[in-house]
Amino acid sequence: NSSALVFLGNKDASTGTGDGTFKNPTRLTVLSQPIGVAVGRFRSGAGQPLDIAVVGATGVVGKEMVRILGEGRIPVGRLVPVASERSAGRTVSFGGSEIPVLRIDEPGTRPRWTEGVDLALFSAGADVSRRYAPVAADAGAVVIDNSSAFRMEKGVPLVVPEVNASAALDRP
């Protein structure tokens, strides 16, 4: 469901690593409010807590996403950290708790981590995004991906926070 996918791009190529990830992931804070509003309207209703998956939660950018979510700019009902088999079972700190990291590729038709997720933030590389972002979107999540996987895909808005953050608000 490409209508639920957003590509998070860079305004300045010098801040990107070439694969769509950020050298300075704190730039994601620029998107916090518009994405929170857009997702709130799309799924849970404005101001309601969101169930948020962070795919790549044990990587540098994923850890920063979790940290930023912990600042409270977006109301989080449930955090679902997701990573590769190698990182599954580790924990991430959030809201005073240690939350176990779920395996992205768990056996079955649809991975358990997608259940009830309102928003899925992807920072695990283009291959992972191509495979699992549509799965999360089909499960009903709004997907925000910062890899290059959907950069040029028709129907997937390219959102550069400093330029067109409001494009993320245009959800069907």
> Mind listing the pLDDT tens digit for each residue in 47-58?
688 899 999 999
Model confidence, pTM? 0.75
pLDDT in tens, 59-73: 988 998 899 888 887
Q: What mean pLDDT do residues 29-53 have?
A: 57
Residue 113's pLDDT is 92
Answer with the residue of higher pLDDT: 84 or 72.
84
Distances (CA, A) of 88 to 108, 114, 118, 155: 16, 15, 21, 33
pLDDT confidence of 15, banded at 50, 70, 90?
very low
What percent of the chain is predicted at pLDDT more than 90? 27
Q: What mean pLDDT do residues 134-145 have?
A: 85
- According to DSSP H, which parts of 100-172 are helical? 126-138, 161-164
pLDDT in tens, 103-114: 998 766 678 899
Residue 26's pLDDT is 35
Does residue 149 register a pLDDT over 50?
A: yes
Residue 109's pLDDT is 66
Task: Please give the backbone phi and psi of residue 16, each rounded to the nearest 5 degrees, phi first.
Answer: -95, 160
Dihedral sign, Cα of residue 103, residue 6, residue 33, residue 141: negative
pLDDT confidence of 45, banded at 50, 70, 90?
low
Q: What mean pLDDT do residues 117-129 have?
A: 90
Distance CA 82, CA 41 (A): 25
Q: What is the DSSP letter of 101?
A: P
